[in-house]
Amino acid sequence: MISEWSQQRVIVTGGAGFLGTVLCAKLREHGVSEGNLFVPRYEQYDLTTEDAVNRMYDEAFGGAPTDVVIHLAAEVGGIGANRDNPGRYFYANMAMALHLIEQFRARGFHERDHSTFVQTGTICAYPKFAPIPFNEEDIWNGYPEETNAPYGVAKKAAWQMLDADKLQSDMRSSYVLPVNLYGPNDNFNLHSSHVIPALIRKCVEAQDRGDDHIECWGTGSASREFLYVDDAAAGIIRAAEVMEEPTPINLGAGFEITIKQLVELIVKLTGFEGEIRWDATKPDGQPRRSLDTRRASKLLGWNAQVPFEEGLERTIAWFREHQADPMARL
């Protein structure tokens, strides 16, 4: 178990991204120094290749051994992006995990005291018609929703690799499945973003232009659960601290909301007064998503803290403040 973060050398893949930025800030608050925190950038390290992963481990911390890897990096998007890039999303996510986990083990990092590998999974790995709320015991009981299955299967395969390494080499690791995340500094690109940032951008920009309506995909009948990014970061750090094996653990907020209700709430909070038009020719995605979070509470002592409406208000305020910045809309 990790009780003193100041002594750990930590690599956070995806540490410059949405979740990673928050998680790295929390690691610093826990005592991880700048010299002991390494965030590989894609421009220098394409982690889908074995050569780049080896070079990253060689160069991080001046060649000193790594104690903790928190693997957040992913290639993923909304329904449209998943439909356009299924092969790439499977390959990229499988290749990154494959090389990162294998080299962590092969270099003997797993033999160090307090070492661990943290893999973030995805609830896209759950069967399309899994019982609600999703329980970790049901994760193999069916095929995922088709539009995001390649991404979900790749992430689930990484969990199995960690499980195999635990059996073979007693390698410590953890595997967490965060529900859909949201919060300030999210990806607000209308094609590749998830539903909350896309809806916030649609409503704010439609209001600014004086539009009389916005268009939304599907029928609005599908349901989702959302977790504020700070809560997710806290859950991941806690998993790194206490877990010895990759028992899958849901990280969620413990509520379910339909997309129709979500759109209406964001419309209300942004102040957009136009009509909501639904395009039923577009897919709804997985019919329902809601997580059973009892395992996280029991094993991690973790529960979500930020109320949903408060989190939305913070996210809307952030986008309004930054919408003129092109980087906020990439």
Domain ranges across the chain: 5-185+226-254+288-306
Q: Look up 151 and say whether it is catalytic.
A: yes
Lowest mean pLDDT among 31-45, 181-195, 233-247: 181-195
Longest distance between any two alpha carbons in the chain, whole Å: 61
Phi first, then psi, for residue 226 (nearest 5°) are -130, 145
The pLDDT of residue 289: 83
Residue 324 has a pLDDT of: 80
41 phi and psi angles, rounded to 5 deg:
-100, 145
Q: 313 or 286, which is more confident?
A: 313
CATH number of the domain at 5-185+226-254+288-306, out of 3.40.50.720, 3.40.50.1820, 3.40.190.10, 2.40.37.10? Answer: 3.40.50.720
pLDDT score for 328: 61
Alpha helices (runs of H) in 38-190, residue ranges in sequence order? 50-59, 79-84, 86-106, 149-169
Mean pLDDT computed over 60-65: 95
**pLDDT over 70 at 30, yes or no:** yes
Rounded to two decimals, the pTM is 0.92
Confidence of residue 217 (pLDDT cuts 50, 70, 90): confident
Candidate list 151, 175, 182, 228, residue with the active-site label: 151
From CA 61, how far away is CA 37, in angstroms rounded? 8
Q: Would you state the pLDDT for residue 83?
A: 84
Q: Is 40 left (phi over 0), alpha (psi -120 to 50) or beta?
A: beta
Peptide bond into 133 cis (omega under 30): yes
Q: What is the DSSP letter of 64?
A: P
Stretch (H or E) spanning 257 = strand 257-258
Query: pLDDT band at 2, cuts 50/70/90?
Result: confident
Sign of CA dihedral 289, 140, 99, 24: positive
pLDDT of 116 > 90? The answer is yes
DSSP for 115-131, written as a single string: -EEEEE--GGGSBTTPP
Q: How confident is the model at residue 326 (pLDDT cuts 50, 70, 90)?
A: low
Going 248 to 251 to 254 to 258, the CA torsion angle's sign is: negative
Q: What's the pLDDT tens digit per position in 223-246?
A: 999 999 999 999 999 999 999 999
Mean pLDDT in residue range 56-74: 97
What is the chain's mean pLDDT, rounded? 94
Rounded to an integer, the average pLDDT of 48-74 is 97
pLDDT grade for 330, boundaries at 50, 70 and 90 = low
